[in-house]
Structure 1
């Protein structure tokens, strides 16, 4: 029986299997590379899209912040305008009162009392003056208490002596009040009566 040498055939099969393995390995490596590249592109696209959305959200937030700031500025301007209008209305309402109060101060001053200063803070009046005697100061306070536009006189300081001259220097405060229409009418009638009496006395 003749011998058959199988070594070359086996060697050929081994080479074929090795080549097939290398080809399969190369195909797998290429497939893995393609898959990795595709995943890289996909993730890159997703990240870029997310960054774009984030940028858009930041722009919208900035726009909203600007609008909120403008609204706050408008609210501040509105409050300032309302406060300014309130001050103007208060001044318009108090203007006639100021005229009446100044006129009332003149009429409440008794003889022998001279004012050196009048200061008003809100509805509180401060009178600085000189009187011939403390009795004159008391008369001034009684006149204030009986006035339609002044109330609650309070004597703070009375000084007598050489430094104040022959009379007494004083400081007192009073509260400005709003007279009712009836009181205002009565005050006006009283002033007209005094004026008419003064005119009649002058003609005599």
Structure 2
């Protein structure tokens, strides 16, 4: 006898294809989600690693900035100490100059000339005093000009004055200090 299949075979095949499609779609979605999760975890790991490197670099940059600040402070202290050293060396080098200055003034002072004040500002010495005559002041200026320690005497003023009932000439003059062995200016 002939067998007739009355079962809806098309619907069964359609249902089988639908199940297969759903299974494949679920697999693709799952695979997509797993891929997205994997990519997310890789990117998150790289971001975390870069954040750690950035933190490491920031920590070392902060440390280096502190070291740079301490180096700058040390350099400033060195500059201050060098300036002090130069002042001390200058004082050591010039300590005999005042002795020579007073010695030269005593040796070059002619009779009849009396000094009232001696002032020094840098290398300029201002002398003020009394002389028995204008000629004695001239003689003093020639004597000072002949000194190796003094140069370029310049008369500021000379006027008549009376000291202890004696008629004298009050004078003021400047002279430049010239240390032998160093370059002198204005000679």
| TM tier relative to shorter chain | 0.7 to 0.9
RMSD between aligned residues: 2.8
| TM value normalised by structure 2 | 0.77
- Distance across 1 between alignment mates of 2:44 and 2:51: 10
Q: Which residue of 2 aligns with 1:127?
A: 126
- Distance across 2 between alignment mates of 1:171 and 1:153: 7
Q: Which residue of 2 aligns with 1:25?
A: 25
- Distance across 1 between alignment mates of 2:130 and 2:175: 15
| Deviation for aligned residue 1:9 | 0.9
Q: Which residue of 2 aligns with 1:114?
A: 115
**Runs (5+) with no aligned partner, structure 1:** 180-204
| Deviation for aligned residue 1:114 | 2.4
Name whichever structure is richer in strand by fraction: 2
SS at 1:177 equivalent: coil
1:161-180 matches, cutoff 5 A = 167-178=169-180
Name whichever structure is richer in helix by fraction: 1
Ranges of 4+ aligned residues in structure 1 off by more than 4 Å: 1-7
1:51-200 matches, cutoff 5 A = 51-110=51-110, 111-121=112-122, 124-132=123-131, 133-155=133-155, 157-160=156-159, 167-178=169-180
- Distance across 2 between alignment mates of 1:134 and 1:172: 16
The 3 A distance-change label for structure 1 pair 47 and 53 is same
SS at 2:95 equivalent: helix
**Runs (5+) with no aligned partner, structure 2:** 162-166, 182-187
State whether residues 148 and 178 of structure 2, in contact with CA within 8 Å, keep that contact through their aligned partners in structure 1: no
- Distance across 2 between alignment mates of 1:53 and 1:42: 16
User: May I ask how many residue pairs the two structures share in their alignment?
Assistant: 174
| TM value normalised by structure 1 | 0.71
The 3 A distance-change label for structure 1 pair 8 and 158 is same
State whether residues 131 and 169 of structure 1, in contact with CA within 8 Å, keep that contact through their aligned partners in structure 2: yes
Any idea what the Cα deviations from partners look like across 1:48-79, whole Å, max 9, x if unmatched?
10111111112222222322333333333233
| Deviation for aligned residue 1:5 | 5.9
- Distance across 1 between alignment mates of 2:145 and 2:48: 84
- Distance across 2 between alignment mates of 1:159 and 1:96: 31
| Deviation for aligned residue 1:107 | 3.1
- Distance across 1 between alignment mates of 2:175 and 2:4: 142
SS at 2:180 equivalent: coil
